[in-house]
Every structure is written in structure tokens, then in C-alpha cells.
Amino acid sequence: MTALLEVNGLRTRFHTPEGMVYAVNGISFHVDEGETLAVVGESGCGKSVSMLSVLQLIMVPPGEISGGVALYRGQDLLKKTDNEMEAIRGKEISMIFQDPMTSLNPVLTIGRQIIESLRKHIGMDQKTAEHRAVELLDLVGISDGLRHLDDYPHQFSGGMRQRVMIAMSLACNPSLLIADEPTTALDVTIQAQIVELITKIRQQVGMAVIWITHDLGVVAGIADRVIVMYAGFIVEEAGVDAMYENPRHPYTSALLNALPRVDQRRGERLKSIAGAPPSLLVEPSGCPFVRRCEYAIERCKIENPPLTLVEPAHTIACWVDIRTGVPR
């Protein structure tokens, strides 16, 4: 398949009073036309910062994109001007942010917020844009959309606000949708509805999706491929089936072992990952997972393993074969 977005060597830093924060450390990945790529990992591992960097949404300062390229349809997004990026964001690439209450403008009606994008990027007149906004609200499951155009965000529940955010992100028929933990803070029933909604729309319009999450349970039903991040690095990448059936990195394996299972025996405790992530204020050296890894060898402390192909379309960053415990 053709790569819609190809990122190579992306590095993002933050200058803080405490010191330099090494948030993203030279990651490379791609997204193909029409596929769903899941980016998983615990909070603070660099998932959201990576995607915000690609869209030049990192505040500079304190942030700094210190290296890498992000080729969208062959053009490097990181070299584009603010005006050029404004023409791409919302039209070619859209993003659903984590918290719809803070992402939506509280003093503007939802109708105005949807219509603004249609008028700016597509050049619709007011009446045509209003009609399209009603269609979008209906598409995301908000009935009687015409009546709701004059409502404000505080008049909606969390799930409804997230649906409005999805409607806004789909307004200009983007080729790529980045969903940054779109089900955070929603109850499980609403979570399932949002997941089903985005999956259905993706199939209808054929757009590619990057789904950022820490919920491995959600990933299994929506993704084609999965990237696992840890401390600003990609540690494993594979097709969704291979990732769940045959994880090859110690961190991925530990994450999956920590998931509740329906076949788990009564009274059996969940397995937690011992220790804590490394401080991002310390420049990385060696494997970032070494202090928590049961398979660690001396080499892991001094040399960070590169992503290496271990099976077709399956790469890991590890010096040890966790199936045998033998160094590679």
C-alpha cells in the first residue's frame, strides 16, 4: 500500500526550569492509505506529543522539534510555514483531542465551530455550510441537528461533546484522522459507541486513522497495525493479530499480561509491571525499559537496541529473544 504519512527520526524536546525533557527520541513510522494505526503506551510515553509535533502544534518555546521529517503525500510537514499548515490542518489531516470540553470553545455555538471550518477550508457560503453541519451532526448520531446548531458545549454531555468534536474533524473529509484518546473520561457504554462510530465512518469514507490510546482492549477491535511506545521510543511494531498472539518485546508482553482476561481463574491476581518509567529529564542511554525488564542483560544498560525485523512486518527494539531468554 502507499504510505500516506511517513515519519522518520522525529525528535521533540521541551525546555523547562527543571531541565531538558526528552519527550520523543527519534521515532519512525508510517500510515498507509485507509488503514488504522494504533499507538499505545502508558501516559507520558510520547504518543500525543509525537502527533502534535507532526502537525506543528507544539508550543515553541518551551517545545522544540529538534529533528526528523514528516512526509505527507511526499511533502515535509515540519518544513511548512504556519499558513501552509493551517491549510492542511482540519482539511487534509484532522485531530480529535482528548478532552472535548477544553477543545471546544465554550463561548461559541457548536454550529459556528463546525461551520467555520467548512467556510475556511472549502469556501462554502453560510447556508450551504449550515446544511452540511446538520448532516454531520446526524452522521455522528446527534438527531435534530438544526435545533442543536445554536447550542453551546456546556449544554451537551461528555459523550455528545465528543460526537461534536468528531463531526468537526470530519467536516472537510480529511484523508487522515488522528484520534487522541477519544474515549478518555467517558463511561464504557459511550466508549463503545464512539469506537463503533469512528470505525463505521472510516469504512464509509475510506480515510486513514491514527488511534492514540493506553487501552489495549480497544485496540484489538479497531486497528490494522499497532505501535508500542515507551519513554519516547517505539519498542515494537506489528500487525494487530501478531501483537496480541505473539508479542516479542518484554514491555508489550508485560502490558498484555496486566490486562484482565475473561478466562482468568477466580482469585488469580493481575500481573503488574514492577518499577517506574525512567525520568525524561535524563538524556536516554541504553534501553529505556532496562530497570523494569526481567530479561535485561549487561548490553541493555549501555546500548539502546534499534528496531529490528524479527518476523515479516514485525519489528522490536530488544537485545533478547524473550521466548528463549537468549540474547539475539
- The per-residue pLDDT for range 238-272, each reduced to its tens digit, is 999 999 888 999 999 988 887 776 666 666 677 77
Contact 40, 229 (CB under 8 A): yes
Rounded CA separation 28/10 (Å): 7
Binning pLDDT at 50, 70 and 90, where does residue 1 land?
Answer: low
How confident is the model at residue 268, as a pLDDT?
Answer: 67
Mean pLDDT of 187-208: 79
pLDDT of 173 higher than 90: no
Q: How many helices (H) and strands (E) does the chain have?
A: 12, 14
Cell numbers describing residue 87: 491549510
Give me the sign of the Cα torsion angle 75, 80, 84, 88: positive
How confident is the model at residue 3, as a pLDDT?
Answer: 86
pLDDT in tens, 265-305: 666 677 778 888 888 998 888 999 999 988 888 899 999 99
Rounded CA separation 156/165 (Å): 12
Binning pLDDT at 50, 70 and 90, where does residue 215 land?
Answer: confident
Total residues found in the chain within this entry: 328
How confident is the model at residue 267, as a pLDDT?
Answer: 63
Mean pLDDT of 67-71: 93
163 compared with 26, residue with greater pLDDT: 26
pTM of this structure:
0.88
